[in-house]
Structure 1
Amino acid sequence: MYGVVLAAGRGTRMRPLTDRRPKPLLPVDDRSLLEGVLDACLPVVDEFVIVTGYRGDAIEEAIGDRYAGAPVEYVEQADPAGTAHAVLQAKGIVDDDFLVVNGDVVIDESLPRSLAEADGTAIAVTEVEDPRSYGVVSLATDDAAADGGTIDGGTTDGGVSGTTEHPTLETIVEKPADPPTNLANVGCYAFEADAFDALEATGESERGEYELTETLEILLADGTEIAVVEYDGRWLDVGRPWELLEATEAVLDDLEGRVDGEVAADATLEGEVVVESGARVRSGVTIEGPAIVRSGAEVGPNAYVRGSTVIGPDARIGHAVEVKNSVVMAETAIGHLSYVGDSVIDRQVNFGAGTVVANLRHDDEPVRMTVKGERVDTGRRKLGVVLGEGVKTGIDTNLNAGVVFGVEETTAPGETVTRDRR
C-alpha cells in the first residue's frame, strides 16, 4: 500500500515559524511533524509519495529517498489548488491502494492501520462536541445509530472504535451551522487505485479549490461504498503557533526517559527526561519531565527546566535560566537569569541576559494572539511568546504574553514589548 502524504501548504497561520521552513518540518519532540506522520503510517505503508510545494527542497533534504527502509518519491503541487488536486499529482506513481494523510498532524499509528484494514475506500472521523468548524459526516440511513449519528460498537486496541463491519458514508457537509451529526472529518482517507478517475472529475469548489470531499461525493454517485472508520485516538491539527505547544504536550505524555548524554553528578532529573547523546546537563541543574534535551544542547549550570519542554539540538540554556513548558529550537541561546514560559522559540534566537517572558494576563483571561492580522482567543490561560528565527533581545528585555516577533527582529536593552514586532 502507498501512503500519499500532503505536505505542500505554506502554513501562513503558523508564521513566523514557517517563514523559512515548511510547516511539516516543525519539531514536536525529537522528530518533525512529518516524520511523526511517516512513523505512524509505516506499519501499513510500503512506499511513500510526498506531495510538496512551499520549500519542497527542504522536505526532500530532510527525508531523503528512503524513510526507515520505505522508498520515498516526491511530486510537486506548484499551484496550491486544494487537496484533490494535491493527491492527483501522484497519479503517475501510485498504481495500488493508497492512504491519504496530511503531513502536519499528530496521529497514532492506529489511524492509518484502521483505514488500511477497512479494505476499500474509507474515511476517518472523530466525535467532537462542536462540529461546526469541521466537515461533518452523515452515515447512510440504515447504518446510523439510534441516537442520531454516532457510531455504536466497542473499542479495538489503539483507539479505533466501531465493529468489524464499518458503517458507510452518506454525505459530508462543510462547516454547517446546524450539524446533522457530531462526526468530524479527520482528513485521512483510504482509496483504491481507480480513484484517480474521480479525482480527475472533481470540479472547482466555491472556495476555488479541488477538494477531496467532492471526490468522495463523485465516488458515492458512482456506487462506491465508503466505509466510515471512527477514530478516538490522538488527533491534533497543528495550524497555529500555540498548537505546536499542545502537540508537544500530547506527544511527551508517552515519553520514556533515558540518559545517553552527560549529566553532572549533582544535577537532578525527575520524571521522564531524555538527555540525548552529545547533550550536556551541567552542575546544579534541575529538570522535571517530561522533557527532552537534544543532541549538542547544553543546560546550566543552575538552570531549571520543567513541564513539557524540548531543548533543541545545539541550544544553550544559561546559568540560572528557567524554561517551562516551551519549545526551544536548534542553536538558540537563552542567556543567564532569563525566564521563558509556555513559548515557542525558533532557531538561532539569542536572549540577552535577564530577558523575561510574561505568560499570564493580570485579569486571568485567555491570552490572545494575532494570526493573519486577526486577534484570536487561544483558549490558553498561560501562553508566552512566539519568536521567529534569528530574533535577538537586549539585556533585561520584558516580553508580554501573546507577543509575536518576526524573523530577525530585535529589542533594545531594558525594553518592554507589549505589541507584535514583524
Structure 2
Amino acid sequence: MYNCAIILAAGEGKRMKSSTPKVLHKVCGKEMVNVVIDEIRKAQVDNIDVIIGTGAEKVRKATELKNVEYSIQEKQLGTGNAVICAKGFLKDKKGTVMVFTGDAPLIREESIRKLMDFHNKGGYSAVILTSIVENPSGYGRIIREENGEVLKIVEHKDCSTEEIKVNEINSSMYCFDIESLMNSLDRIDNNNAQGEYYLTDVIEILKRSGKKVGALPVPFEETQGVNSRLQLSQAEKIMRHRINEKHMENGVTLIDPDTTYIDFDVKISNDTVIYPQNVLQGKTKIDKGCVLYPGSRIDNSIVESDVTIQSSVILDSKIGSNTTVGPFAYIRPESVIGNSVRIGDFVEVKKSSIGDKTKVSHLTYIGDAEVGSGCNFGCGTVVVNYDGKKKYKTIIGDNSFIGCNTNLVSPVKVNDNTYIAAGSTITNEVPDGALAIARAKQVNKKDWVYKKGLNK
C-alpha cells in the first residue's frame, strides 16, 4: 500500500503578529513544519508535499533539506482549496494520503502509524484523527453512527442540544483513500459565509456516496494547533517535557526538568548531570559523565566525557574530556579546547585551539591563536589579534608560561618551553627555552609624593 502525506503550511497566522510565517516559528529549536515533517518521516512515509503560500520562499528555504515536494496555494481560500492545490502531487498515485497541519507540531510518530494502520486495515475511504476533551467548546464535533463509524462533523455553532454534549472533536488531520479524495475534491464548493472551500466537506461527500468513514481518537495534547504566542509557549512546554523525559529515560540526570531547556537535536550520553537553567541548543552533543552546573548555554558544540561546565557560554566549538570551563567563560565559534584543560572565570576564547593540560585560569582573552599543551596563562593575558583593520594569528608552543598582564601582539610566535615575565608586551618571536621581558625599567622618585603635596 502506497502512503504519502500533505502538510498544510500556507497560512499567514495573523494572531502571531509576526513577519515570520506561522509554521516557521520554532518549538524547542525547530520550525513547527519541520517537526511535523520529521515525525511523518519517522513513520516511514517518504513522499511528502508541503502546501505553501504566505511567505512561500521562506518556508521553502527552511525545509529545503527535508527532500519534500511543494504545491502553491496562491490565495488562502480554506483547507479544501489547499488540498486542491496538491492535486498535481496526488495525480496517478494509488493508496492513502494523510493530511496534517504545519502549525500542529505535537503529533507523534506512534499516532501517525496508528492512523495509517487503522485506515488500511479498516477499509475506510477516510479516517479523521480526533481527540476526546472535557471542554469541546468551539470545536467541530464528531457524530458517530451506532456501529462506530462517522456519520458527520458538526461545527459548534450548528450543534443541536444533543450534539453539543459530544466531547469528541475534529483535529483537522485526516487519512484518505487517494482516489476517493480526488473524486470528492471536484465536488466541494465555497457556498458559505466565508466563501472558502473546507476539507470537512469531503467527509460529507463521501458519506453521501455511501463510503465508509472512521475516526481514531488520540490524546488532545497531540492535536493542539498553534495560533498565537501563548499557544506557542504551551506547545514548547509540552515538547520540552517530552524531550527531557527521553533524556532521563536514557540515563541523564536533570535536577529540575522544568527549568532545563534542551533542543530537539541535542544528544546527551548517560551519567551526565544537568542542573537548572541550562540551555542546550542546535546539534550539541554531550558525552557521558559531564556535569553542567546552573546557568550555561551550549549551542552546536561537542562536549566530550567528564567535562565540568559552570555558568558559561559555548558556541560552535569542541571541549575535550576532563576539562573544566567557567564560571563565566565565553567559548566563541571555531574554538577547540583540548583534554584536561582549565578554562577559568572571565576567560574568552575565540577561533583558537588550546592544547591538552593547558591552564587559562582567569581574566584572559585568546583570539585567533594556536596554543600548545602544558601551558599556563597568568591573569590578565591578552592576545592582541586585531589592529583595527585585520586580524592576525598568534602561535604559542608547548609548556610555555605566560606571566600576568602580558600582551601578545599578533602576529607573533612564542616557542616551546618559554617564560614571559609579567607585564610584558611581546611583539617579536620568543625562542625556545628563553625568558622574555618586555617592559620599561622601574624608576623610583624619592619623596615625590611629599614634594607634590599629594600625601593624605
Task: Give the shorter-chain TM-score range.
Answer: 0.5 to 0.7
Pick closer, same or farther for the CA change 1:276–1:3 going to 2, 3 Å.
Answer: closer
Q: Residue 443 of structure 2 aligns with which residue?
A: none
State the 1:206 CA deviation.
2.5
1:68-115 CA distances to partner (integer Å, 9 max, x unpaired)?
A: xxx411010001000010011111121232000001112111222222
Q: Residue 131 of structure 2 aligns with which residue?
A: 126
1:155-177 CA distances to partner (integer Å, 9 max, x unpaired)?
A: xxxxxxxxxxxx31101111236
Q: Does the CA-based 8 Å contact 2:40-2:109 persist in structure 1?
A: yes
Structure 2 CA distance, aligned partners of 1:313 and 1:185? Answer: 43
2:255 paired with 1:274: no
Q: Does the CA-based 8 Å contact 1:44-1:112 persist in structure 2?
A: no
Q: Residue 109 of structure 1 aligns with which residue?
A: 109
Kindly report structure 1 stretches of 4+ aligned residues shifted beyond 4 Å.
257-261, 275-280, 301-305, 311-314
State the 1:44 CA deviation.
4.0
Q: Does the CA-based 8 Å contact 1:44-1:116 persist in structure 2?
A: no
Q: Residue 223 of structure 1 aligns with which residue?
A: 210
SS at the partner of 2:89? coil
Q: Residue 175 of structure 1 aligns with which residue?
A: 156
Q: Does the CA-based 8 Å contact 1:279-1:294 persist in structure 2?
A: no
State the 1:252 CA deviation.
0.9
Q: Residue 41 of structure 1 aligns with which residue?
A: 40
Q: Does the CA-based 8 Å contact 1:131-1:184 persist in structure 2?
A: yes
Q: Residue 228 of structure 2 aligns with which residue?
A: 240
Name the amino acid aligned to 1:191.
F
Q: Residue 90 of structure 1 aligns with which residue?
A: 86
Q: Residue 199 of structure 1 aligns with which residue?
A: 185
Structure 2 CA distance, aligned partners of 1:313 and 1:136? Answer: 49
Pick closer, same or farther for the CA change 1:276–1:132 going to 2, 3 Å.
Answer: closer
Question: Which protein has greater RCO, CA pairs closer than 8 Å, 6+ apart?
Answer: 1
Pick closer, same or farther for the CA change 1:275–1:189 going to 2, 3 Å.
Answer: closer
TM-score in terms of structure 1 length: 0.57
Structure 2 CA distance, aligned partners of 1:227 and 1:86? Answer: 22
Structure 1 CA distance, aligned partners of 2:98 and 2:37? Answer: 12
Greater per-residue helix proportion: 2
Q: Does the CA-based 8 Å contact 1:77-1:89 persist in structure 2?
A: yes
Pick closer, same or farther for the CA change 1:123–1:279 going to 2, 3 Å.
Answer: closer
SS at the partner of 1:37? helix
Structure 2 CA distance, aligned partners of 1:105 and 1:183? Answer: 18
Pick closer, same or farther for the CA change 1:275–1:174 going to 2, 3 Å.
Answer: closer
Pick closer, same or farther for the CA change 1:228–1:312 going to 2, 3 Å.
Answer: farther
Structure 1 CA distance, aligned partners of 2:197 and 2:282? Answer: 44
State the 1:273 CA deviation.
6.3
Pick closer, same or farther for the CA change 1:279–1:15 going to 2, 3 Å.
Answer: farther
Q: Does the CA-based 8 Å contact 1:285-1:304 persist in structure 2?
A: no
State the 1:284 CA deviation.
10
1:241-283 CA distances to partner (integer Å, 9 max, x unpaired)?
A: 011111111011122269999xxxxxx8326963656799xx9
State the 1:207 CA deviation.
2.0
SS at the partner of 2:88? coil
Name the amino acid aligned to 2:294.
T
Q: Does the CA-based 8 Å contact 2:6-2:99 persist in structure 1?
A: yes
Alignment of 1:246-325 (within 5 A): 246-255=234-243, 256=247, 269-270=274-275, 274=280, 286-287=294-295, 293-295=298-300
What is the aligned counterpart of 1:208 among 182, 191, 195?
A: 195
Structure 2 CA distance, aligned partners of 1:249 and 1:124? Answer: 23
Q: Residue 10 of structure 2 aligns with which residue?
A: 8
State the 1:218 CA deviation.
0.7
- Identical-pair percentage: 25
Rg larger in structure: 2
State the 1:132 CA deviation.
2.2
SS at the partner of 2:11? coil
Structure 2 CA distance, aligned partners of 1:39 and 1:196? Answer: 26
SS at the partner of 1:172? strand
SS at the partner of 1:92? helix
Q: Does the CA-based 8 Å contact 1:136-1:180 persist in structure 2?
A: no
Q: Residue 74 of structure 2 aligns with which residue?
A: 78
Equivalent residues, number: 274
TM-score in terms of structure 2 length: 0.53
Q: Residue 328 of structure 1 aligns with which residue?
A: none
SS at the partner of 2:87? coil
Structure 2 CA distance, aligned partners of 1:284 and 1:249? Answer: 21
Pick closer, same or farther for the CA change 1:193–1:277 going to 2, 3 Å.
Answer: closer
Structure 2 CA distance, aligned partners of 1:52 and 1:184? Answer: 26
State the 1:28 CA deviation.
0.4
Structure 1 unmatched runs, 5+: 144-166, 262-267, 306-310, 321-422
Name the amino acid aligned to 1:169.
V
Name the amino acid aligned to 2:61.
E
Structure 2 unmatched runs, 5+: 253-261, 267-272, 302-308, 318-326, 329-456
1:346-376 CA distances to partner (integer Å, 9 max, x unpaired)?
A: xxxxxxxxxxxxxxxxxxxxxxxxxxxxxxx
Q: Does the CA-based 8 Å contact 1:115-1:124 persist in structure 2?
A: yes
What is the aligned counterpart of 1:189 among 163, 171, 174?
A: 174
Q: Does the CA-based 8 Å contact 1:130-1:182 persist in structure 2?
A: yes
Mean CA deviation greater in 4-13 or 226-235: 226-235
Q: Does the CA-based 8 Å contact 1:269-1:287 persist in structure 2?
A: no
Q: Does the CA-based 8 Å contact 1:131-1:183 persist in structure 2?
A: yes
State the 1:25 CA deviation.
1.1
